[in-house]
Amino acid sequence: MAHETILVVDDEPAIVQVIGERLRREGYQVRIAGDGGTALAALADEGEPPHLLILDLMLPDMDGLDLLRTLRGAGSNIPVIILTARDDDVDVIVGLELGADDYVVKPFNPRELAARVRAVMRRRAEALALAARLASLEADTRPPAAAVPPEGLHFDPPARQAWYAGHPLDLRLREYDLLYFLAQHRGQVVSRTTLLDQVWGTDEFIDDRTVDVHVHRLRHKLAEIDPGADLIQTERGVGYRLVE
């Protein structure tokens, strides 16, 4: 059974009760914050910080996106699932771009939310295990910076490290997997469905927008190295192609 603590930030008692009951049944410890200020105080608790945040975008004292922006701006990497009752997809996309890990639209099935929590927590555990593994690697197992060619994309799969134009790329777990998969199929148009199946897996509740957001992040990071970079091209209505 899980023992992680989840902080639910929502001011609707009925929703908080449903979420709390479901997550406790799954074995999680649940803490509640009815507004953004209370949530920030709980997240700043160094003694017992939560392991995951379920964040409603409509809070009484601040916008949930502002709270998320504050967290990521402060360097917090706590996994976040956003809840939204808004019909506008822009809010979801902005939330994902700000660093949310997943989202659920109200009204929602509590079992689906619990499944999304498990998926995010699993990805978090994978990322932490990977970081520990990389930290334990001997320095000579990684290509020295001087050995990385100054042009193009290059990968070190055992270390899950990528370089572009001789510069290391600071990539999240799924960003690396996505870029590496596209690179393995250079010049080919890869559909969003294929990317979802091959990079995220079929057991996760995600959709095409998640792929689009990750591609947007990759383009931004490549452009930071080369503003004229256009490596990942969009094939409208189909998917993406990596060219060099």
Residue 92 near residue 82 (C-beta atoms within 8 A) = yes
Contact 95, 122 (CB under 8 A): no
CB 34 within 8 A of CB 60: yes
Q: Is the pLDDT of residue 63 over 50?
A: yes
Which tops the pLDDT comparison, 213 or 144?
Answer: 213
Compute the Cα dihedral for 143, 198, 75, 164 and give only its sign.
positive
pLDDT at 140 over 50: no
Which pLDDT belongs to residue 54?
A: 97
Q: How far is CA 237 from CA 23, 88, 163, 208, 218, in A?
A: 38, 21, 29, 11, 20
CA dist., res. 37 & res. 6, Å (int): 17
pLDDT > 70 fraction of the chain, expressed in percent and rounded: 86
Helices 13-25 and 110-136 meet at what angle, rounded to 10? 60
* Residue pair 189/235 in contact by the 8 Å Cβ criterion: yes
Beta bridge partners of 191: 239
pLDDT, tens only, 162-181: 999 888 998 888 889 999 99
Of the candidates 90, 104, 72, the residue with the CA atom closest to the CA atom of residue 8 = 104
Question: Residue 33 carries which DSSP code?
Answer: E
Model pLDDT for residues 197-228, shown as the tens digit of each residue = 888 875 556 667 788 888 988 998 999 998 88
Tally Cβ neighbours within 10 Å of residue 91.
Answer: 20
Q: What percent of the chain has pLDDT over 90?
A: 40
Contacts of 63 (CB under 8 A, 6+ apart): 57
Cross-strand partners of 167: 164
- DSSP label at 198? I
Average pLDDT in the chain: 85
Asked if pLDDT for residue 230 goes beyond 70, the answer is yes
Name the residue with tokens 């100054």: 150
Say if CB 57 and CB 91 are below 8 A apart: yes
Contact indicator for 155, 161 with CB cutoff of 8 Å: yes
The answer to whether 66 and 60 have CB atoms below 8 angstroms apart is no
Model confidence at 141: pLDDT above 80: no
> What's the pLDDT score for residue 136?
61
Domains, the chain, ranges and CATH?
Answer: 5-127 (3.40.50.2300), 138-242 (1.10.10.10)
The separation between the first and the last C-alpha atoms of the chain, rounded to the nearest angstrom, is 47
Average pLDDT over residues 83-104: 83
Residue with the bigger pLDDT between 151 and 176: it is: 176
pLDDT at res. 244? 73
